[in-house]
Amino acid sequence: MENRQTVLIVEDETGISGFIKAILAANNYDVLITDKGATGISMAASYCPDIILLDMGLPDIDGMDVLKNIRQWSRIPIIIVSARGHEREKVEALDAGADDYLTKPFGTAELLVRIRTALRHSHDAVQSKTLPDEKFQVGTLKIDYEKRLVHVDGEEIHLTPIEYKILVILSRNAGKVLTHDYIMKEIWGPFEKDNQALRVNMANIRRKIEDNPAQPKYILTEVAVGYRMVEQI
């Protein structure tokens, strides 16, 4: 039996924090709410919540500053909540250490999935610092990290080294969105600014592992942000 996990909601709109609280309470989470960024930081320090939902538009300080402040001393998973059309803000927050994002208005299912994914990743990071999983499977896609083999529907898939690296990074972070910049930095190093190579490689990966590259089921596109590998189909 697990302890109930605590969610800290930093959100100035009571309408939104209210319904989030209702959803989370119904799903066995403890909920803390504050409407100020400064209080959010001190509550994060004193209550040690398991996860933080952070609205980017706060009345006192910028959500980005709250995020950066907390990231200086803690790895608590943070999911940012932002309005539609603020793609740049989302990418910046993700690159500054946010774990995921939600776009207003979001549904119940989406909220719960994001929270669960973020919690599991932080859990994994704490539990198994030594050895990562040797295998990954979602749907009929199987990755054997040790043997560097990829199978779809039991058939072996031939990937170039770069394609394989991209697939590994995404699958290790399955469920999480990875920004274009993050993936590019991991593969090509910090000086690659042109994301065309990533687009072309991704298109090729999809042609190899997806039934229909225009309607992918394994690697989803987050337009203007990045890519997300699904955890389950």
Q: Which is nearer to other proteins, 46 or 196 (CB)?
A: 196
Q: What x-and-dash track marks residues 195-214 binding other proteins by CB under 8 A?
A: xxx-xx-xxx-x------xx
Give residues 98-157 in contact with other proteins (rule: CB under 8 A).
104-108
Smallest separation (angstroms) from other proteins to the CB of 33: 13
Smallest separation (angstroms) from other proteins to the CB of 225: 9
Rg (CA), the chain: 19
Residue 26 binds to other proteins (criterion: CB under 8 A): yes
Q: How many CA atoms lie within 13 A of 15 on its CB side?
A: 2
Q: Which is nearer to other proteins, 100 or 222 (CB)?
A: 222
Smallest separation (angstroms) from other proteins to the CB of 207: 8
| 83: its two tokens | 């309005």
Q: Which is nearer to other proteins, 15 or 154 (CB)?
A: 15
Residue 83 binds to other proteins (criterion: CB under 8 A): yes
Residue 68 binds to other proteins (criterion: CB under 8 A): no
Length of the chain (residues): 233
Q: Which residue has the tokens 């100020």?
A: 36
Contact with other proteins (CB under 8 A): which of 19, 133, 139, 192? 19
| 171: its two tokens | 């699958």
| Strand-by-strand arrangement of the 155-157 sheet | 135-138, 141-144, 149-152, 155-157
Classify burial at 131, counting beta carbons within 10 Å of its beta carbon; exposed 0-12, middle 13-18, buried 19 or more.
exposed
Smallest separation (angstroms) from other proteins to the CB of 226: 11
The answer to whether residues 90 and 101 touch, using CB atoms and an 8 Å cutoff, is yes
Contact with other proteins (CB under 8 A): which of 49, 216, 218, 226? 216
Region of 19-27, 42-50, 126-134, 143-151 interacting with other proteins (CB under 8 A)? 19-27
Q: Which residue has the tokens 């603020």?
A: 86
The C-alpha angle with vertex 169 and arms to 165 and 171, in degrees rounded to 5, equals: 115
How far is 13 from 10, CA to CA, in rounded Å? 9
Smallest separation (angstroms) from other proteins to the CB of 196: 5
How far is 131 from 12, CA to CA, in rounded Å? 41
Size of the site for other proteins (CB under 8 A): 36
- What does each C-alpha distance from 31 to 10, 109, 156 come to in angstroms? 11, 18, 46
Contact with other proteins (CB under 8 A): which of 59, 85, 189, 190? 85
Chain contacts with other proteins (rule: CB under 8 A): 13-16, 18-20, 22-23, 26, 83-85, 87-88, 104-108, 195-197, 199-200, 202-204, 206, 213-216, 221, 223-224
